[in-house]
């Protein structure tokens, strides 16, 4: 994945890392289309290095495992009775944990 940005004043098209927010004249491209991009005659195409996303670090995985262990702990009966008035989950119900990973090329 890459982001294409047109700089009309400089007659330049820049293909670089995926943008983190939307801007005018920016378009997200898949890897195939970003590699095959051509510009109009008289324009320059600048290709910035796109680093491959690093996988989760050992610290990230350990934090995730700790969060899962904490969510799986049973809730004491006294704490459950106090929290039931506020719509909290009852004993035995598990929370939902989602892991969001960057898209793979």
Phi then psi dihedrals of residue 10, to 5 deg: -100, 5
Phi then psi dihedrals of residue 87, to 5 deg: 75, 20
pTM of the predicted model, to two decimals? 0.47
pLDDT digits 0-9 by tens, 69-101: 888 888 776 655 555 555 555 555 555 666 666
pLDDT digits 0-9 by tens, 7-26: 888 999 999 988 888 887 78
Residue 57, pLDDT > 90, answer no
Of residues 77 and 59, which shows the higher confidence score? 59
């Amino acid at each position: 994945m890459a982001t294409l940005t047109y700089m009309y004043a400089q007659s330049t098209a820049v293909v670089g890392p995926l943008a983190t927010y939307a801007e005018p004249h920016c378009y997200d491209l898949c890897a195939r289309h970003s590699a095959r991009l051509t510009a109009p005659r008289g324009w320059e195409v600048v290709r910035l290095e796109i680093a491959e996303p690093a996988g989760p670090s050992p610290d990230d995985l350990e934090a995730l495992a700790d969060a899962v262990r904490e969510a799986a702990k049973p809730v004491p009966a006294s704490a459950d009775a106090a929290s039931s008035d506020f719509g909290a989950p009852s004993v035995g119900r598990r929370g939902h944990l989602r892991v969001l990973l960057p898209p793979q090329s």
